[in-house]
Amino acid sequence: MSHPEHIPPLPPAPSNHDWPDTIHTAFHILSDVYNRSLKLLRSEDHDALHLQLYVEKMRRDLVPLLEALEREMEGHRWVIDVAKLIVDVGLDLEMAADAANNRCGTFYYHKI
């Protein structure tokens, strides 16, 4: 699957105010995780365990972060769009982990 190079920038804050620092921090965390995820996907050397652990970390850390953002940003469409990007890249990481497991399993099967 093709993924955008970056998550979209934060939308303008309501009422001509800036978003709180917590939202800017969350944006930077999401952006960093998304960019690292893309780098892992594009890597030729997939390690199944590393990919699986990374996906678990994404689930553990990003789901509560996205839920907090949704509350803080009052259900802004941006949060939904970013969540979809994160889910898509997470699913592709899971598929890459499965593929790496199958390659590894096949290798060991033929070796024995």
Helix, strand or coil, per DSSP, at residue 9: coil
Report the residue count for the chain.
112
Mean pLDDT of 10-15: 89
* Whole-structure pTM value: 0.85
pLDDT for 66 beyond 50: yes
Tell me if 93 sits within 8 A of 51, measured CB to CB: yes
3-state helix, strand, coil in the chain (%, to 5): 75, 0, 25
pLDDT for 30 beyond 70: yes
Tell me if 70 sits within 8 A of 23, measured CB to CB: no
pLDDT for 104 beyond 60: no
